[in-house]
Amino acid sequence: MPPLSAVLSAQKLREFLGVFTPKLATCLREGYGLDRFWKDAVAGLTVAIVALPLAMGIAIASGATPQQGLFTAIIAGFIISALGGSRYQIGGPTAAFIVVVYGVIERHGYDGMLLATLTAGGLLVVAGLFRLGNYIKYIPYPVTLGFTAGIGISIFVGQTADLLGLHTARLPAAFVPKVHALMMALPSFSISTAVLAAGCLITMYLLHRFRPRWPYMLMVVTAATLAAAFFLPGIATIGEKFGDIPRLPPAPQLPPFSLEKLRAVLPDAATIALLSGIESLLSAVVADGMTGRRHRSNIELVAQGLANIASSLFGGLPATGAIARTATNIRAGATSPVAGILHALFLLLFMLIAAPLVLHVPLCALAAVLVVVAWNMSEVNVVGSFLTYAGWGDRLVILSTLLCTVFYDLTLGIEVGVVLAAIKFMHNMANLVEVETNSTLFEKDRPDVLRAPRPLFDVPDLPRDVIVYRIHGPFFFGAASELTKVTSRIGSAPRLFVLDFQNVPLLDSTGAASLKGIIENMRRAGTKVILTAVPPQVARTLQRYEVGKGAPNFELASSIHEALIRHPPKAK
């Protein structure tokens, strides 16, 4: 019989391997044949077609060259898919980094940006190994909504010069000086450039609305390139601004390093690491919601870190999981991380074959692509409706985060948003404790038997096709992910899914958003969701955030017993 220490060591090793095994290894262990490879190849090619103009446009908007964006998509995209914790994650440069990278290059030069990316990669690896991926998900929903909307606004303003053909020097990173520089450059407005950019925007809108499965971004960039070459001479192109584009990535090398430089870029490295972690895990969660799978957050952070380290060695940009490209990958039929690996190889093939053709792409066409990305990022409809029905606390959080992100920087925006969300939560809890104290301190003594808690269920035999969860304590942004995690472990879909809210004193906007997601997922599975014993203050929050509104599978009941009476088992 092996000693206890050996058994414990083996258990720890199995636990470690379970947490840090890449999804690629899991998929290959399941069995991987030619049929799955073909599906992954089609998905990889589809995503590569989408990623090609995005990688170049994001790099140019970040103050880098188009080839550096392509290097990032190829190298980081390969590593994130090969070593990551999601089956469907597509990595590369994303629009969320544009504002951050532009500012880092302005302050520290391109070498400083490479050092910041390298350091951020190391921070992400450490965060993953220390299993901090479980904590990044605690960023409140209004904070995420606020900083992504702020980034979208900044991207839109930054593309104005290329959209209108303005002749400007390098624009300042700060928002107000940037707007001032654009206004001073308005006399250089180019009608032909603006017309072509407007045509690109209108065409993308129409294609996205009526042919959403088509690669409309690449189609529009190709059409704009042909139009500029044959009908609109004089429009600024990639070749005029950046010169030749190499067909292969450069040899890897470390960026210039010194302790003084490292100290200077460390705050920016922390920002890059935080943003990469947030966006990659958010993308993985979106993929889980679309497929019913579960990602491994800590190995995902490790892979993101290694990808950023490798990207910096090849002169690339910061990288993370891209939500839109990951969703495209899933819709295109991907079955495993092989699709992401093939997406990177297809991009490399495009560089080998079509690098000379890229020189003729108009800058205004790529700017139009980024304007569409900025609009999608901003989620104007979501932010507008959120500000309409949210409470004053959530409005303050989202507006403060948005304004700080736009007028100062992303780091301050996230810090302010998280602090305000924490203060709001503590305020709500303080009010709740005060109410409970007022109602119990002055009560007369009663026999203990009257205080005995009621049993969990009101019925002796619970049907097998009914699942009941009772939540204790406030259902806020810290607890919402726990319920989502628990519900994701349910095997076969039940007939009824009952959530007893008798002991839930508080529900916030993130909890409401989590409930909406659970109701929608259960609707797809054909499961009825019933909330029971909902306190009045929680019921008001449900109504304010329109939880379950229009959902045919959602009901409220006064008790578990009433819910079961309404929906008795079907006769066999």
What pLDDT does 107 receive?
A: 93
Residues 295 and 345 in one domain: yes
Query: What percent of the chain has a predicted confidence (pLDDT) above 70?
Result: 88
pLDDT > 50? residue 454? no
| DSSP character at residue 309 | H
What pLDDT does 19 receive?
A: 72
* Residue 258 resides in a domain: yes
* Residue 450 resides in a domain: no
pLDDT-derived band at 525, boundaries 50, 70, 90:
confident
pLDDT > 70? residue 278? yes
* Residue 289 resides in a domain: yes
Name residue 441's beta-bridge partners.
none
pLDDT > 60? residue 444? no
The pTM assigned to this predicted structure is: 0.80
* Residue 452 resides in a domain: no
pLDDT > 80? residue 462? no
Residues 342 and 431 in one domain: no
What pLDDT does 261 receive?
A: 94
Residues 362 and 242 in one domain: yes
What pLDDT does 346 receive?
A: 96
- Cα separation, 150 vs 281, whole angstroms: 20
Average pLDDT over residues 36-48: 95
pLDDT-derived band at 169, boundaries 50, 70, 90:
confident
What pLDDT does 245 receive?
A: 85
CATH number at residue 500: 3.30.750.24
Domain's final residue, options 328, 355, 379: 379
Tokens of 430: 């303080």
What pLDDT does 4 receive?
A: 47
Name residue 320's beta-bridge partners.
92
Name residue 497's beta-bridge partners.
467, 529
Residues 326 and 395 in one domain: no
Lowest mean pLDDT among 181-185, 241-245, 530-534: 241-245
* Residue 337 resides in a domain: yes
What pLDDT does 482 receive?
A: 66
Lowest mean pLDDT among 102-111, 226-235, 449-458, 487-496: 449-458
List, for residues 56-65, the tens digit of each pLDDT value.
999 999 999 9
Lowest mean pLDDT among 80-94, 337-351, 443-457, 523-537: 443-457
Which residue range(s) make up the domain with 422? 385-440
Sign of the C-alpha dihedral computed for residues 176, 181, 184 and 186 taken in this order: negative
Average pLDDT over residues 25-48: 93
Residues 552 and 504 in one domain: yes
Q: How many domains does the chain have?
A: 3
Of 16, 13, 84, the closest CA to residue 299 belongs to 84
- Average pLDDT, whole number, for the chain? 86
pLDDT > 90? residue 572? no
pLDDT > 80? residue 458? no
Residues 247 and 356 in one domain: yes
Which residue do the tokens 């304007």 mark? 371
Of 337, 330, 306, 335, the closest CA to residue 320 belongs to 306
pLDDT > 90? residue 249? no
What pLDDT does 463 receive?
A: 80
pLDDT-derived band at 111, boundaries 50, 70, 90:
very high
Residues 340 and 363 in one domain: yes
Helix (H) or strand (E) holding 92: strand 91-92
Answer whether 182's CB lies under 8 Å from 161's CB.
yes
What pLDDT does 12 receive?
A: 66
pLDDT > 80? residue 85? yes
Helix (H) or strand (E) holding 166: none
List, for residues 203-231, the tens digit of each pLDDT value.
999 999 998 888 889 999 999 999 998 88
Residues 405 and 495 in one domain: no
Tokens of 454: 């009621």
Lowest mean pLDDT among 48-62, 81-95, 236-250: 236-250
Of 386, 388, 363, the closest CA to residue 148 belongs to 386
pLDDT > 80? residue 488? no
pLDDT-derived band at 201, boundaries 50, 70, 90:
very high
400 contacts: CB under 8 Å, gap ≥ 6:
146, 413, 416, 417, 420
* Residue 428 resides in a domain: yes
Residues 152 and 86 in one domain: yes
Residues 66 and 93 in one domain: yes
* Residue 449 resides in a domain: no
Angle between helix axes 175-184 and 141-158 (nearest 10 degrees) is: 20
pLDDT-derived band at 473, boundaries 50, 70, 90:
confident
| DSSP character at residue 168 | -
List, for residues 373-382, the tens digit of each pLDDT value.
999 888 888 8
List, for residues 495-505, the tens digit of each pLDDT value.
899 888 988 88
pLDDT-derived band at 178, boundaries 50, 70, 90:
very high
Residues 82 and 57 in one domain: yes
Residues 313 and 191 in one domain: yes
Lowest mean pLDDT among 334-338, 460-464, 486-490: 486-490
pLDDT-derived band at 72, boundaries 50, 70, 90:
very high
Q: Give the end-to-end CA distance of the chain in Å, rounded to a whole number.
A: 50
pLDDT-derived band at 555, boundaries 50, 70, 90:
very high
- Cα separation, 410 vs 521, whole angstroms: 32
Answer whether 21's CB lies under 8 Å from 82's CB.
no
Domain's final residue, options 379, 400, 423: 379
Domain's final residue, options 329, 355, 379: 379
* Residue 10 resides in a domain: no
